[in-house]
Amino acid sequence: MKDKNFLNAKIISFEGIEACGKSTQIELLKEYLDENKITYLALREPGSNDTAEKIRDLLLNKDLKKDPLTEILLFMAARRELFIDQIVPNLNKKKVFILDRSIDSTLVYQAMAHDLDWEYFYGLHEELNLCIVPHRTFYFQMNYENSIERQKTRNQEQDYFEQKPKRYYTKLISGYDYLSQRFPDRFVTINADETIQSISTKVRKVVMELLDR
């Protein structure tokens, strides 16, 4: 989607492998935006709309096997719901849209991790006018071992994507690394092993610069 259609709103996405710490940083960013009276809408993908949440249940259910193309189509369907129901009607009302994952997750988790042509699916998003390219993408870079370690400390049952084998995670990491180099203007790579405070300071700085404040 072209910049002009977003008026003054900025779209910021948070990306990375499982347990990379993005949810904590999203919460801290929301607090900071509240303190500074900057209007925002925080959304998660897939989800943030009744239909998209149903699609999410299906996608994360580890008892349901899914073909990679089926996954892509379901994530795109959920994205369409989010776009039509949450983003478009709020473009004039919010300064910032915070996306907990977006198009890059699909490119990495569904296309690159399955050795599919990610550029084709990027183009498909464009053709369908679903290409919500964020103004900034925070990529929380973390290795496989640390992700697994953090998942253990959470003590929750692993979902469909979390339970994937190491080789899948390895492809996710190299996929994100690749995209961060391919799109250096919007990607901000963050070492996810830094302290919560230090990461939060960096995130705030980038967001305030983006908002020109």
Residues that bind ligand TYD (CB under 6 A): 18, 23, 44-46, 60, 75, 101, 105-106, 109-110, 161
Task: Closer to ligand TYD by CB, 193 or 209: give it.
Answer: 193
Query: Nearest approach, Cβ of 155 to ligand TYD (angstroms)?
Result: 15
Task: Closer to ligand TYD by CB, 37 or 155: give it.
Answer: 155
Measuring CA to CA, how many Å separate 109 from each of 31, 36, 174, 212? Answer: 29, 35, 11, 33
Report residue 170 as tokens.
């390895």
Query: Nearest approach, Cβ of 46 to ligand TYD (angstroms)?
Result: 5
Q: Is 154 helix (H, G, I), strand (E, B) or coil?
A: helix
Q: Phi and psi dihedrals of 33, rounded to 5?
A: -65, -40
Any idea which residue has 């983006």 for tokens?
210
β-bridge mates for residue 141, sequence order: 191
Task: Closer to ligand TYD by CB, 75 or 83: give it.
Answer: 75
Query: Nearest approach, Cβ of 212 to ligand TYD (angstroms)?
Result: 29
Q: Phi and psi dihedrals of 127, rounded to 5?
A: -60, -35
Q: Which residues neighbour 48 within 8 Å (Cβ) at sequence distance 6 or greater?
A: 82, 86
Query: Nearest approach, Cβ of 2 to ligand TYD (angstroms)?
Result: 22
Task: Closer to ligand TYD by CB, 25 or 106: give it.
Answer: 106
Query: Nearest approach, Cβ of 37 to ligand TYD (angstroms)?
Result: 28
Task: Closer to ligand TYD by CB, 189 or 208: give it.
Answer: 189
